[in-house]
Amino acid sequence: MQIRNISHNDKKVRSEIAELVGEPFSWFERFKMGGNRSPRFRLIRASTPIEALLAVDNRRWHCNIELRPTGILLAFRSLSETYAWIVPYRNLSLFKSEDYLTLYSAQYFAKLVWDDRDKGAKKFLAKLMSCKAKVHKDEAMPA
C-alpha cells in the first residue's frame, strides 16, 4: 500500500508518485477533460493504515480523488498534514451502490458516501472509468 505525506514539496515523494501513476496532467489537458479532481467525498471506512492516520483527528473524514495518466491519488487530511493513497489503474477496483463508492487495491480499500443525484460526482466517476478503460486498452495492445 502506497500512502505518502504530500504536504511538503518533497522531490523524492513527487518522483515516486510520478513513477507509480504518472506526472500530473498539464493545465491544457485538465481544461480539455473538464477537470481532473473529484468533488469532496465523505470517507466512512478505510483500511487500517488510512484509518490509523485519520483517527488522530476528531473531524469528519473527507477525501478527494485526483486523476493521473495511469492511476489515482486519494487525498485526505489528518491534523495539519495531507496524505495520498496512490493507486495505479491496473490495481484499482471500483464498486458503486446507491449510497457508497468503494475503491479497492489488493487488500486495501476506502468506502465513500455516494449521492446518485450529485451531477459532479457522476461526471467524475465517468471520467475515472474512461481513464481506467483507456489505460487497460493501451496495456492490452501489442507494441
> What does the domain layout of the chain look like in residue ranges?
2-119
pLDDT, one tens digit per residue, over 69-95 is: 999 999 999 888 999 999 999 999 999
pTM over 0.85: yes
Tens digit of each residue's pLDDT (9 = 90 or more) over 85-132 = 999 999 999 999 888 999 999 889 999 998 878 888 899 999 999 999
Rounded to whole angstroms, what are the CA distances from 47 to 35, 39, 60, 85, 133?
28, 21, 16, 11, 25
Distance CA 143, CA 128 (A): 25
d(CA 20, CA 28): 22
Task: For residue range 25-39, list pLDDT tens digits in order.
Answer: 999 999 999 999 999
Residue in 27, 25, 21, 26 with CA at minimum distance from that of residue 4: 21
The CA angle 110-115-120, to the nearest 5 degrees, is: 95
Q: What is the CATH code for 2-119?
A: 2.30.29
